[in-house]
Amino acid sequence: MSDTQKNSLSYLISPAHYFGGITFLFLLIQVFTGVFLFMNFIPYVSEAYQSLVYITNIMPYGFFLRTLHRYSAFGMIIMCLLHMLRMYTTKRYLRPRDVGWITGVVLLFITLLVTLTGFLTSFDGFSQVVLNGLADFFKIGRRDFQSLLSINYGLHLLFPILIFVFLITHFSRIARPKVFPPSSLSFLFIGLMVALSGFFPIASIANTPELGSSNFEPMRLFLGLGIMTVILVILAFLPYLKKQKSIYAYVDETRCTGCMYCADVCPKKAIIEKQIEKNNQSYAVATVLKHKCQGCGICVGACRSSVIQLENHKDEILLEEVRKVWIEQTL
């Protein structure tokens, strides 16, 4: 194997390049295990805890499903944070990738809410203490909070739908979204989650909830949510806090041959054919739609006549982008 192939292979199997895809993989594990939990959990105050006891202590592999569901939630948050950290350090949050960054921040926020509502929906001892505190805070009665449980359960089912809605926008604004990691990494992380769930399962629960201390202060929860919201709002506005020049491709129409190969390889369909007049004759040339261009540089590397350039973009960054495309297409 040549050095180029080795470098290409190391690029393809490096988890750092697929943090986003691994996050999506954990989401699918969440959905898969959540369906089985949904079919056996009863979201009523009088039966919720006993259904949890059945899932955890009696149902075949129920404790394994609960453990895998919980661990994949943690894994999803961790991978989402790592993915955003990598996007920040490689400056992929700046325009024209700002929409992808903002939708990513929204997805992180929804993911955190899914995890929070999941803990409260479980209706174990800790969950009941929190719900009791919220019931007292909203003055709906400590033992009469069926509506509170139902709202929380409904949100826990609604938020994953919102995640998929925002993922559509998130993927559509990325030039080459890695929706799934390579099969080797997928099997590796699935195996890791299965092994962790098998060797370190959640503990069985008592037939009656152990409520412990009931001195829960809802204001702490609201304060934590407020701080988290402020931090995420600041993150969402990061692309606009730093002044920068727009990055987009442009075509030298005087030298363009009109082959339109650049339009064929553009992942965002940001290049169209345009008719120009030259020497009293009409010629077809390529032109870039700036509002669609993501500044990925694929068209620059693909142009056979070398008439496309990226405005306000360093050559070494462009070469790295083209190299990644070449690696992904040749192996």
The model's pLDDT over 33-69, given as tens digits with 9 standing for 90+, comes to: 999 999 999 998 888 899 999 999 999 999 999 999 9
For residue 181, what are the contacts with CB-CB under 8 A and spacing of at least 6?
A: 15, 18, 21, 22, 25, 189
Give the tens place of pLDDT for each residue, 211-242: 665 667 888 888 989 999 999 999 999 888 87
Q: Residue 232, exposed/middle/buried by CB under 10 A (0-12, 13-18, 19+)?
A: middle
With bands split at pLDDT 50, 70 and 90, how would you rate the model's confidence at 4? Answer: very low
With bands split at pLDDT 50, 70 and 90, how would you rate the model's confidence at 294? Answer: confident
Two structure tokens written together for 8: 């290409």
pTM: 0.76
Domains of the chain: 15-240 (1.20.810.10), 249-330 (3.30.70.20)
Strand positions, DSSP E, the chain = 248-251, 271-278, 281-288, 308-311
